[in-house]
Amino acid sequence: MSKVSSIVRSIIMATIVIVISFMCGIRLLKIQIVDGAGYLSMTKNKVAEQDIEAARGQIVDANGKVLNTNKIIYNVNFQYSSLVVGSSQKEINEVIYRVLTVLEKNGEKWNDSLPINRTEPYAFDEDRPSAVEKLKTTLNVGGYSTVENCIYQLYKQYDIDEKYGEKMRRSIAGVRYEMVMKDFSDYNTKFVLSSDIKEDTVLELKELSALMKGVDITESWERQYLDGGIAAHLRGTVGAISAEKYEELSESGYLLNDVIGLDGVEQALESELRGTRGVRTITRNSETGSISDAVTVAPVAGHSVMLTIDSNFQTLLQDLLRYHIEYLNSPYYTAKYDATLRGKGCKSGAIVVLDVKTGGLLGAATYPTYDINDLINDYEEVLNRPDGPLFNRALFGEYRPGSTFKTITATAGMADGVITPDERIACYGTYTYYTGYTPGCLGYGHSGPIPVREGLRVSCNVFFYETARRLGIDRLAYWAGRFGVGRDLGFELNMNYGQMSSMELFEENNYEWYPGNVIQAGIGQCETALTPMHLAVQALTIANNGVRRGPPRRQAGGN
């Protein structure tokens, strides 16, 4: 029996050993093969990359005078790998406390979007209900929670000690919450605490850097608008990229926190002005815990762009336009001329001047205007000024061209042969071709038969009524298009195309078309509407003996 028992025990022990060995083998296979990559990564150094912002190119005038440029600013950042990794909540709070103490003493601001006011008694920001709801969700408190509940939970969650005092506790809580909102993590390793701080603040923070691990002072840029009242409507501004625009541009390498041209040249030449960001690589040694960083890809600044506009000439145009409109509203003008004279009481206007030889824009003034810096500092105030100063009338204002259109009608008539340079058309004050419809002429010192040259000089309505009737609306519209009416002029800035009166246009808008509309279109009335830019191109085309020149394409210089 004893011998049998010994054999049985041996078999059992052997079985147990085999089972255990098998299980260990399975576990070892899992560690080495299934989870091998994960365990291997734990033995490697931790590497994170940060983008380095590239400086935006400058915008200069035709003489090289700088208009839009960059100002170097200093930012206070936190680095995730050295502030958070391996640190307790209390250690993180202590660093934030030391930095905020310096910022507050020097009157600096910092990022804190917590929807609770910064001093007692605390209250939710009533203007940001969605942010309040987001706060409660993030803190995992009920929707019925009071502001006191949220403050208590913030202090508890981030272990913010009472020793800091209530005001500083609230400030630390705001920064900690902002970190969460900005997804400060292994994947988003830089958190911008404060931007555009004073140099004295920079020096003080650097002196205390040994006591504030994870704090990084970096240089960045902020757009500056020199002589912001010059060509404000054309130069444009930059700003944060919108969520909608980000969806459109994300595949082109844009980030959600990027700055982008919002309007004017800044928007139209975004691809030239925008630089190429660099890369900063931060490495944390897995054995020693030491941290090193290096610029592995240097940023490349954007190209500068030279405009065809001369700042001095542009200023002259703006002054001339303002003086003229002020004159039209002056008591002197009313006393000297008939009070019903056209132009009295005018509140706005525009001037466009083009280079006849090149088609280049020499100046474009809009009144009323504004200073770009006023717009940046207080957008609502500029927006609410009377007479719409933000509206770029030179490029977007569409107006009936009136008698200026007669040069198109004259050109069309002679080109199609319905009139000749020497043919005379009689004007006796009214146009009598239609029964029951006899539009008049202004009668500026003329009567009787006159040729086309005289018709233009005295702006005779009757002459061009007859010319337009002979042409018909289709041929008149064709020649208007050759002058650029209703067309893209090739100007790099956004602008309206204008429109030419036509039967199709009337049909689209459910208007009734009458034969008399043709002759009204011939003198720039009816539903014809042009921008001042189109009118300038029209004049340029005539000055070039019928050659319509478009604006020259962009001129991009070096960095």
Tell whether the model's pLDDT for residue 553 goes beyond 80. no
The band of 94, judged by pLDDT with boundaries at 50, 70 and 90, is very high
The band of 57, judged by pLDDT with boundaries at 50, 70 and 90, is very high
Give me the residue spans of the domains in the chain: 2-42, 48-111+182-306, 309-394, 397-542
Is residue 468 a contact partner of residue 521, using CB atoms and an 8 Å limit? yes
Q: In what order do the strands lie in the sheet with 291-297?
A: 46-52, 278-284, 291-297
Please give the pLDDT value at position 243: 75
The band of 559, judged by pLDDT with boundaries at 50, 70 and 90, is very low
- Top pLDDT among 286 and 215 is at 215
Tell whether the model's pLDDT for residue 6 goes beyond 90. no
d(CA 99, CA 159): 18
Which tokens hold the place of 442?
A: 């202004």
pLDDT in tens, 329-354: 888 776 666 655 667 778 999 999 99
Tell whether the model's pLDDT for residue 555 goes beyond 70. no
Sole residue written with tokens 């040729």: 451
| DSSP 8-class letter at 33 | I
The band of 289, judged by pLDDT with boundaries at 50, 70 and 90, is low
Tell whether the model's pLDDT for residue 4 goes beyond 70. no
Q: Model's pTM, two decimal places?
A: 0.74
pLDDT in tens, 72-87: 899 999 988 889 988 9
CB neighbours (10 Å) of residue 266? Answer: 25
Percent of the chain past pLDDT 70, that is, above it, reads 86
| DSSP 8-class letter at 431 | -
Tell whether the model's pLDDT for residue 283 goes beyond 50. yes
CB neighbours (10 Å) of residue 77? Answer: 19
Is residue 231 a contact partner of residue 108, using CB atoms and an 8 Å limit? no
The band of 395, judged by pLDDT with boundaries at 50, 70 and 90, is very high
User: Per-residue DSSP letters for 294-345?
Assistant: EEEE--BPPPPEE-S--HHHHHHHHHHHHHHHHHHTSHHHHHHS-TT-TTTT
Crossing angle of helices 406-416 and 473-482, in 10° steps, is 110
- Top pLDDT among 461 and 256 is at 461
- Top pLDDT among 389 and 282 is at 389
- Top pLDDT among 185 and 551 is at 185
Q: Determine which helix (DSSP H) or strand (DSSP E) holds 50, and give its type and residue range.
A: strand 46-52
d(CA 83, CA 520): 75
Helices (H), 384-457: 393-396, 406-416, 452-457
pLDDT in tens, 125-146: 999 999 999 999 999 998 899 9
State whether residue 159 is helix, strand or coil: coil
Please give the pLDDT value at position 519: 97
CATH superfamily of 397-542: DD-peptidase/beta-lactamase superfamily (3.40.710.10)
The band of 287, judged by pLDDT with boundaries at 50, 70 and 90, is low
How are the residues of the chain apportioned to helix, strand and coil, as percentages rounded to the nearest 5?
45, 15, 40
Query: Kind of pairing, strands 66-79 and 59-60?
Result: antiparallel
Please give the pLDDT value at position 496: 94
Is residue 241 a contact partner of residue 260, using CB atoms and an 8 Å limit? yes
Where is mean pLDDT largest: 45-49, 336-340, 439-443? 439-443
Largest CA distance in the chain: 148
d(CA 305, CA 308): 10
Is residue 273 a contact partner of residue 260, using CB atoms and an 8 Å limit? no
Please give the pLDDT value at position 122: 96
Please give the pLDDT value at position 298: 77
d(CA 286, CA 379): 50
pLDDT in tens, 164-207: 999 999 999 999 999 999 888 887 788 899 989 999 999 999 88
Please give the pLDDT value at position 267: 94
The β-bridge partners of 425 are 450
Among 142, 79, 437, 87, smallest CA distance to 283 is for 79
Tell whether the model's pLDDT for residue 49 goes beyond 70. no
Tell whether the model's pLDDT for residue 554 goes beyond 60. no
Return the CATH class of domain 48-111+182-306. Answer: alpha beta
Please give the pLDDT value at position 437: 93
Please give the pLDDT value at position 556: 46
Give the list of residues 6+ apart from residue 289 with CB closer than 8 angstroms, or none: 86
Tell whether the model's pLDDT for residue 37 goes beyond 90. no
The mean predicted confidence, pLDDT, of the chain is 87
Please give the pLDDT value at position 235: 96
The band of 286, judged by pLDDT with boundaries at 50, 70 and 90, is low
pLDDT in tens, 200-237: 999 999 888 888 888 988 888 889 999 999 999 999 99
